[in-house]
Structure 1
Amino acid sequence: MIDVLIAGGGPAGLAAAIHTAAAGMEAVVVEPRAAPVDKACGEGIMPSGVAALRSLGVEVAGRDLRGIRYLDGVRRAEATFRGRPGLGVRRTELHDALHQRALDSGVKIVPGKVGEVHQSHDRVTAAGLTARWLIAADGLHSPLRRGLGLDRPGGAGHRRYGLRRHYCIAPWADFVEVHWSSHGEAYVTPVGDNLVGVAVLSRHRRSYEEHLAGFPVLAEVLRDREAHSVRGAGPLRQRARTQWYGRTLLVGDAAGYVDALTGEGVALAMATAAAAVRCLAAGRPQDYPSQWARLTRSHRLLTEGLLRAARYPATARLIVPAAHRVPAVFRAAVHALQ
Structure 2
Amino acid sequence: MSAPVDVLVVGGGPIGLATAIEARLAGLSVVVLEARRGVIDKACGEGLMPGAVRALDRLGVHPVGFPLAGIAYVDGTRRAEHRFVAGPGLGARRTRLHAALAVRAVRLGVTVRQARVTAVAQDAASVHAAGVSARWLLACDGLHSRVRELAGLAVPPAPARGRRRFGLRQHFRVTPWSDVVEVHWSPRSEAYVTPVAPDLVGVALLGPPGAGYRESLAALPDLAACLEGAVPVGALRGAGPLLQRARRRSAGRIRLVGDAAGYVDALTGEGIRVGLAQARAAIATLDAGEEAYEAAWSAATRDYRVLTSGLLAAARSPLRGAIVPAAVTLPRLYGRVVERLAR
Query: After superposition, where does 1:104-123 map in structure 2 within 5 Å?
Result: 104-123=107-126
| d(CA) in 2 for partners of 1:20, 1:205 | 41
Instruction: Show the counterpart of 2:183.
Output: 178
SS state of the match for residue 152, structure 1?
Answer: coil
| d(CA) in 1 for partners of 2:26, 2:80 | 43
SS state of the match for residue 16, structure 1?
Answer: helix
Check the 8 A contact 1:161/1:205 in 2, yes or no. Answer: no
Query: After superposition, where does 1:4-153 map in structure 2 within 5 Å?
Result: 4-153=7-156
CA RMSD after TM alignment: 1.0
Q: Deviations over 1:11-48 (max 9, x none)?
A: 11101101111111100000011221111010000111
SS state of the match for residue 113, structure 2?
Answer: strand
| d(CA) in 1 for partners of 2:291, 2:135 | 15
TM-score, normalised relative to structure 2: 0.96
For structure 1, the 5+ residue unaligned runs are none
Q: 1:283: Cα distance to partner?
A: 3.9
Instruction: Show the counterpart of 1:224.
Output: 229
| d(CA) in 1 for partners of 2:313, 2:263 | 16
| d(CA) in 1 for partners of 2:148, 2:185 | 33
1:191 to 184, 193, 196: 196
For structure 2, the 5+ residue unaligned runs are none
Between stretches 247-256 and 139-148, larger displacement belongs to: 139-148
TM-score, normalised relative to structure 1: 0.97
- Aligned-pair identity in percent equals 51
| d(CA) in 1 for partners of 2:335, 2:32 | 39
SS state of the match for residue 133, structure 1?
Answer: strand
Instruction: Show the counterpart of 1:291.
Output: 296
Check the 8 A contact 2:251/2:290 in 1, yes or no. Answer: no
| d(CA) in 1 for partners of 2:291, 2:134 | 18
Check the 8 A contact 2:44/2:169 in 1, yes or no. Answer: yes
| d(CA) in 2 for partners of 1:214, 1:300 | 29
Q: Deviations over 1:103-144 (max 9, x none)?
A: 000000000112200011111010111111000000011111
| d(CA) in 2 for partners of 1:56, 1:254 | 21
| d(CA) in 2 for partners of 1:35, 1:58 | 18
Q: 1:224: Cα distance to partner?
A: 2.3
Check the 8 A contact 1:43/1:91 in 2, yes or no. Answer: yes
Q: Deviations over 1:263-301 (max 9, x none)?
A: 111111111011100111x44343111111111111111
Q: 1:154: Cα distance to partner?
A: 4.5
| d(CA) in 1 for partners of 2:87, 2:225 | 32
Check the 8 A contact 1:6/1:30 in 2, yes or no. Answer: yes
Letter in 1 for 2:280: A
Runs of 4+ aligned residues of structure 1 deviating over 3 Å after TM superposition are 282-285
1:265 to 262, 266, 271: 271
Check the 8 A contact 1:35/1:99 in 2, yes or no. Answer: no
Q: Is 1:329 the counterpart of 2:330 in the alignment?
A: no
Paired residues in the alignment total 336
| d(CA) in 1 for partners of 2:190, 2:211 | 13
Check the 8 A contact 1:154/1:238 in 2, yes or no. Answer: yes
SS state of the match for residue 188, structure 1?
Answer: strand
| d(CA) in 2 for partners of 1:284, 1:305 | 31
Instruction: Show the counterpart of 2:322.
Output: 318
Q: Deviations over 1:215-244 (max 9, x none)?
A: 111012112210022000010000111111
